[in-house]
Structure 1
Amino acid sequence: MCSCHAILNNHQYRIYSFHIYFTSRVVCSTHQSNDEVSIMRIFITFLVALSALVGTAFAGQKAPGKVLMVVSSYGVDQGETQPGFEFDELAKAYLVFAANGLSIDIASPKGGAVEADKYNPEKAYNAQFLADPDAVNKLNNTLNLSAVKSQHYNAIFVVGGKGAMFDFHNNQALQMLVADIYQRNGIVSAVCHGPAALVNVKLANGDYLVSGKRVNGFTNEEEKAFGKKWAPKFEFMLESKLIERGASFEKAPMMLKHVAVDGNLVTGQNPFSTAATAIEVVKAMGIKPVAMKPFKDDATIELAAQMLTDVKPAAAELAAHTERYQPELIAMYGYYRMMFAASKSDLQQAVNLMEVGRLYMDNPQLIIALAQGYQKLDDVASAKQRLTELLQRNPKFEPAQTLLAKLEQSKQ
């Protein structure tokens, strides 16, 4: 129970106790004058009224606000047949809102049960969501957007996932909800592919909601890296469409955290921006966010971002507090940065990340990628060193043998 509720309960109990005491004094005393009795009765009447007032105040205590979370109905077969929503994003945002005392509903274009893309239920935030019967019930019985009343909500948060690119942008009910909440000075927010819900929303004056606004979302670069299966089926690329609608599109480097805040419009770039986006929503609602331990993957990506500018202190932090992070995620991020590196500087950053990550995992393919990175940097000696070390552990690993032989030949 929060402190304000405890205080109100305590005051109500004390008033009730005084009421009993003075009533007994009036009833039991045989030595009081009529004037004394009248004064006591007036005082008792006052206490009864005050008790009722405090009781009403206590009963009227409400959550600091109500948020509508929206997920895609498009998913089929855990995203194999048709993409759905990102469970990680739903769980992270839900936990942030719940921790800050918000009342939460979950809705979807079709209502009822919805299908997430394949996810890991053992991740801490997913496990915490799944352990909450109320949260699971809301997800299994989502509200139909066509039946939702905008006036019941202080904020709307649109969850991402590639399904959002199929059933959000042309959903009239969703567009009306977003416009109504925004024009009532409520908070409109979305993360990753969630801003697809905003691209066709127009305000009462006929302008697109995003026109002239600072906006964020899954970038074209991120789509190129991670959207190969479904992106060819999209009607548009999210970044391009938001810019076409007049938005001032902001972005961080691929898969790093970024949140754009423009008045009561809050948008996040990718899954690692989810918690930060939800926290900004809480702030926009006039609530001071409670302190929360960062989710481990978010903290890891934040550390990777630090490594791009100064690898040594960030690597030292990882070594000192490994339990707070996912080192393999740093290696993976380095691999993807190398794949899409546009300069020698990008390549060097990617190699630095993989060098840090390799200390915490034994993955031969990572070493091959690292050697290839060194090769592209014309650092053949370092490439050969990593391959030689790998072959000492795995003498018959053919990819390492082949690449090492190629490097030896190029030297001749």
Structure 2
Amino acid sequence: MQLLKRYLLPFIPLLALLLMAAGVAAQPDDKRILLVLSGHGQQQGQQAPGYEFDEFAKAYLVFKAHGIDVDIASPQGGPVEADEYDPAKPYNQQVLDDPAIMAKLANTLATAQLDAANYNGIFIVGGKGAMFDLPKDAALQQLIAAIYQQHGSVAAVCHGPAALVNVKLADGSYLVANKAVNSFTNEEEQLFGKKWLPKFEFLLQDKLTERGGIFQASPIMLNHVVVDNRLITGQNPTSTVAVATALVKSLGITPLVMPPHKDDHTLALVAALLDGKPDAAQALASNPEQLHIELAGMYGYYYFTAANTETAWQHALTLMLLSQSAINNPALDLQIAKAQQKLGDKAAATATLKQILANKPEFEPAKVMLNSMSL
């Protein structure tokens, strides 16, 4: 099945054109979108964070499939650096093999040189670099305001909404004021952003709220998209495709049904499990070749860290157990033991700890926990 999907993916643009010609989707009518990336990144030694290539790739593929023209911009123009990413992921590989978009990426347009009249919408890619340069780019703020006020659409994902916090409209009000919004949340920052968090001038959730935004959110790293008229915001990388699709729809184009990426499909099932859907765990267990089961396990690991109810502990344990053999890591096994202990299953926790020490006798955290349980 995966081989078939990989074979069919290059033909999606042609399929899109055929479907639109058949009346399934509206014609793009020469729509053009501006993709904005942070130019803050420095590749050497990860001295400064940049943009997220995964988000860029997923969004671009949605726009390409719908026949929408794309330009790429950054505050300073020229080449920009992405944070570390996996080029072997199918969606990244597709973009890396696309010479036209890679040429644009190698020489981004400077925001100060652009005319909002040329664009029907703007999509701001995330990545922690966005927290450093995008809120300070006056030219970008003017572009966003102008596109919105000429009845264009504004979309941003993950840390991309950092570009919105200082945008004011002609009447002096903030763009996000009294509008439903979301972004990478404070909780997600505390779990996944510790390296750069001390260098941030603000937390994005707090700043959007301070500007009058009505903040919405889902559990960590799950898809959540907020559409308030022509303002579209997404919570995290998992939300990228949905944000891009909502932008397509806002341009008057009927979105095509596109095959989900493996990581997005996995986290959609995780969301269903957390929502109490009875078949979600079975779906995760029975389709490992179509899913990123290790991702489900790591989700359970972090979800347990933030959990504070018995139901949440049980969900976290279920996810970790599903991927335990695939991950095969004592840190995950220790988290499983902690969840078992939280749920009152001392026998299971003890057995898990003993198994860790049978495989890794020197693993001190397991020794400490086992000794504490025997007191």
Q: Which has the larger radius of gyration?
A: 1
Residue 374 of structure 2 corresponds to 409
Which whole-Å CA distance do the structure 1 matches of 2:152 and 2:190 have between them? Answer: 34
Q: Is the 8 A contact 2:330 2:356 kept in 1?
A: yes
Which whole-Å CA distance do the structure 2 matches of 1:212 and 1:79 have between them? Answer: 41
SS in 2 for 1:281: helix
Which whole-Å CA distance do the structure 1 matches of 2:21 and 2:166 have between them? Answer: 47
Matched, 1:340 2:316: no
Match for residue 106 of structure 1 among 62, 72, 94: 72
Q: Is the 8 A contact 1:63 1:103 kept in 2?
A: no
Deviation digits for residues 31-58 of structure 1, max 9, x if unmatched? Answer: xxxxxxxxxxxxxxxxxxxxxxxxxxxx
Q: Compute the displacement of 1:318 (Å).
A: 2.2
SS in 1 for 2:155: strand
Residue 245 of structure 1 corresponds to 211
Paired letter, 2:242: A
Which whole-Å CA distance do the structure 1 matches of 2:122 and 2:271 have between them? Answer: 29
Deviation digits for residues 124-156 of structure 1, max 9, x if unmatched? Answer: 111111000011101001001000111111000
Which whole-Å CA distance do the structure 2 matches of 1:151 and 1:79 have between them? Answer: 39
Which whole-Å CA distance do the structure 2 matches of 1:146 and 1:270 have between them? Answer: 27
Match for residue 163 of structure 1 among 129, 136, 139: 129
Structure 2 vs 1, CA of residues 225 and 3 (structure 1 numbering), >3 Å: closer, same or farther?
closer
Q: Is the 8 A contact 1:78 1:117 kept in 2?
A: no
Unpaired stretches in structure 2, ≥5 consecutive residues? 1-13
Residue 86 of structure 1 corresponds to 52
Which whole-Å CA distance do the structure 2 matches of 1:308 and 1:111 have between them? Answer: 42
Match for residue 127 of structure 1 among 65, 79, 93: 93
Q: Compute the displacement of 1:387 (Å).
A: 2.7
Calculate percent identity across the aligned residue pairs.
Answer: 50
| Further displaced range: 371-380 or 289-298 | 371-380
Matched, 1:294 2:260: yes
Which whole-Å CA distance do the structure 2 matches of 1:150 and 1:401 have between them? Answer: 58
Residue 21 of structure 1 corresponds to none
Match for residue 142 of structure 1 among 90, 108, 124: 108
Q: Compute the displacement of 1:273 (Å).
A: 0.5
Matched, 1:308 2:300: no
Matched, 1:361 2:327: yes
Higher-RCO chain (CA-CA 8 Å, sequence separation at least 6): 2
Q: Compute the displacement of 1:407 (Å).
A: 5.3
SS in 2 for 1:211: coil
Which whole-Å CA distance do the structure 1 matches of 2:122 and 2:21 have between them? Answer: 31
Structure 2 vs 1, CA of residues 395 and 175 (structure 1 numbering), >3 Å: closer, same or farther?
closer
Q: Is the 8 A contact 1:78 1:116 kept in 2?
A: no
Residue 40 of structure 2 corresponds to 74
Q: Compute the displacement of 1:370 (Å).
A: 0.4
RMSD of the TM alignment (CA)? 2.1
Residue 48 of structure 1 corresponds to none
Structure 2 vs 1, CA of residues 290 and 382 (structure 1 numbering), >3 Å: closer, same or farther?
same
Which whole-Å CA distance do the structure 2 matches of 1:79 and 1:171 have between them? Answer: 25
Matched, 1:153 2:122: no
Residues 3-14 of structure 1 aligned to structure 2 (within 5 Å): none
Unpaired stretches in structure 1, ≥5 consecutive residues? 8-60
Structure 2 vs 1, CA of residues 351 and 5 (structure 1 numbering), >3 Å: closer, same or farther?
closer
| Further displaced range: 247-256 or 308-317 | 308-317
Q: Compute the displacement of 1:258 (Å).
A: 0.1
Paired letter, 1:353: L
| Further displaced range: 354-363 or 134-143 | 354-363
Paired letter, 1:302: A
Q: Is the 8 A contact 1:311 1:352 kept in 2?
A: no
What TM-score do the two structures reach when normalised by structure 1?
0.82
- The 4+ residue runs of structure 1 with deviation greater than 6 A are 4-7
